[in-house]
């Protein structure tokens, strides 16, 4: 049996990745898709301006786009790729009506009773689900994944926690797809770097501490790490590259850091990468164009690990940083018997 899944915001940059990743999924079957009012009633192939390298999957070509309304979506799990303000209104309606909501949107990430999860980092935070359902009296629940620039960073910070990680400085170089298709005009970004992304630095600085925090059975105690971020939009289509400076009480050597990166493991599910962190030894890797699709876009590639500790990490923002992250969270919940 495959679980029946729906996608909220299925026509957008992240929504299209959901369609691509879920269309051939062994555990999930797409049975419902939503879009905004202007596309409701159209077939997916009419409503979505498809922009991915693989063709529109056959199973959704003729599927009808509906409003993001629990009564109109015929499925058990919804993956949300809605803009945050819309997610804020719509996601609780689904959770209240008994749906499992796996969300990409930022609307509920930092709420005390909503799990913000990366399976390799803090799967135990799913314990918040029971607390959330009791508190909100919902039949279903919401589980979120972090912002696209936070995910790649935190996957690499988790193995550094064992050395007493206490300070992180990060400078990001983020792809334009991170802002959605209509997000950054080409005239603004071609031949240019924009040293500002609204709310991005705050998201990295707060979400990371929740993800790396400890769940004590009732709440998450945030990790005590001093994190500062400086975020830049650069003219690449996909892939967020980040320069990281991490200080640890135990002062590990670059070789010790590379070893814990290489030994870091994911979960055992269909979308999980074999090596969540791939370490490159070449002086000029990772590079966005060459490395963003490592292990189907689900691995983080690290390189230039130097004394300090300093390193570069790269992750695919719409796969590992968005749709792939939600799908992996859903797989984790199936594996743990939560779904």
Ligand X SMILES: NC(=O)c1ccc[n+]([C@@H]2O[C@H](COP(=O)([O-])OP(=O)(O)OC[C@H]3O[C@@H](n4cnc5c(N)ncnc54)[C@H](OP(=O)(O)O)[C@@H]3O)[C@@H](O)[C@H]2O)c1
Which residues are tagged catalytic? 148, 240
Tokens 């000029």 correspond to what residue?
284
Buried b (16+ CB within 10 A) or exposed e, 226-257: ebebebebbbbebbbbbebebbbeeebeeeeb
Give residues 34-93 in contact with ligand X (rule: CB under 6 A): 35-36, 38-39, 68, 81-84, 86-87
Tokens 């230039």 correspond to what residue?
304
The two tokens of residue 171 are: 């400078």
Name the minimum Å distance from CB 132 to ligand X: 20
Segment near ligand X (CB under 6 A); pick from 50-58, 177-185, 192-200, 216-224: 177-185
- Please report whether residue 177 would count as binding ligand X according to CB under 6 A: yes
Segment near ligand X (CB under 6 A); pick from 127-135, 152-160, 212-220, 315-323: 315-323
How many other CB atoms sit within 10 Å of the CB of residue 169? 15
Segment near ligand X (CB under 6 A); pick from 7-15, 185-193, 246-254, 260-268: 7-15
Report the residue from 180, 235, 254, 270 that binds ligand X according to the rule CB under 6 A: 180
Name the minimum Å distance from CB 160 to ligand X: 23
Applying CB under 6 A, the site for ligand X has a residue count of 32
Buried b (16+ CB within 10 A) or exposed e, 98-136: ebbbbbbbbbbbeeebbbbbbbbbbbebbebbebbeeeb
- Please report whether residue 9 would count as binding ligand X according to CB under 6 A: yes
Return the number of the residue (38 or 306) whose C-beta is nearest ligand X: 38
Annotate each residue in 224-263 with x if it binds ligand X (CB under 6 A) or - if it does not, as one string: ----------------------------------------
Length, in residues, of the chain: 339
User: Are residues 100 and 139 in contact, defined by beta-carbon separation less than 8 angstroms?
Assistant: no
Buried b (16+ CB within 10 A) or exposed e, 311-331: bbbbbbbbbbbbbbbbbbbbb
Name the minimum Å distance from CB 255 to ligand X: 33
- Please report whether residue 15 would count as binding ligand X according to CB under 6 A: yes
Report the residue from 6, 273, 321, 324 that binds ligand X according to the rule CB under 6 A: 321
Strands, E assignment, the chain: 3-8, 28-34, 65-66, 77-80, 100-103, 141-144, 165-174, 214-215, 220-221, 226-233, 240-248, 277-279, 300-306, 310-315
Report the residue from 5, 6, 13, 327 that binds ligand X according to the rule CB under 6 A: 13
Name the minimum Å distance from CB 216 to ligand X: 28
For residues 333 and 126, give the distance between their C-alpha atoms in angstroms, rounded to a whole number. Answer: 8
Return the number of the residue (180 or 254) whose C-beta is nearest ligand X: 180
Residues that bind ligand X (CB under 6 A): 9-15, 35-36, 38-39, 68, 81-84, 86-87, 104-106, 147-148, 177-178, 180-182, 317-318, 321-322
């Amino acid at each position: 049996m495959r679980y029946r899944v729906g996608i909220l915001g299925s026509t957008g940059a992240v929504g299209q990745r959901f369609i691509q990743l879920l269309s051939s999924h062994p555990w999930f079957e797409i049975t419902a898709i939503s879009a905004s009012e202007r596309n409701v009633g159209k077939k997916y192939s009419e409503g979505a301006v498809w922009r991915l390298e693989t063709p529109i999957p056959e199973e959704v070509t003729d599927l009808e786009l509906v409003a993001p309304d629990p009564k109109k979506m015929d499925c058990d799990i919804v993956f949300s790729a809605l803009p945050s303000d819309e997610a804020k209104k719509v996601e609780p309606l689904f959770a209240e009506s008994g749906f499992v909501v796996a969300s990409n949107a930022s609307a509920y990430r930092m709420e005390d009773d909503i799990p913000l999860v990366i399976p390799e980092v803090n799967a135990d935070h799913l314990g918040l689900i029971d607390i959330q359902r009791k508190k909100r009296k919902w039949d279903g629940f919401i589980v979120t994944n972090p912002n696209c620039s936070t995910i790649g960073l935190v996957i690499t910070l988790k193995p550094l926690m064992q050395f007493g990680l206490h300070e992180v400085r990060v400078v990001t170089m983020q792809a334009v797809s991170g802002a959605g298709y209509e997000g950054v005009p080409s005239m603004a970004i071609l031949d240019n770097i924009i040293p500002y992304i609204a709310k991005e630095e705050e998201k990295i600085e707060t979400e990371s501490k929740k993800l790396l925090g400890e769940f004590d059975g009732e709440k998450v105690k945030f990790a005590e790490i001093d994190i500062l971020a400086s975020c830049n939009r650069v003219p690449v289509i996909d892939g967020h590259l980040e320069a990281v400076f991490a200080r640890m009480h135990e002062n590990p050597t670059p070789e010790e850091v590379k070893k814990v990166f290489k030994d870091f493991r994911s979960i055992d599910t269909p979308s999980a990468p074999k090596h969540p962190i791939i370490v490159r030894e070449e002086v000029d890797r990772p590079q966005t164009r060459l490395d963003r699709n490592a292990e189907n876009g689900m691995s983080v590639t690290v390189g230039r690990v130097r004394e300090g500790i300093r390193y570069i990490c790269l992750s695919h923002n719409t796969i590992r940083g968005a749709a792939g992250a939600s799908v992996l969270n859903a797989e984790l919940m199936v594996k743990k018997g939560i779904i």
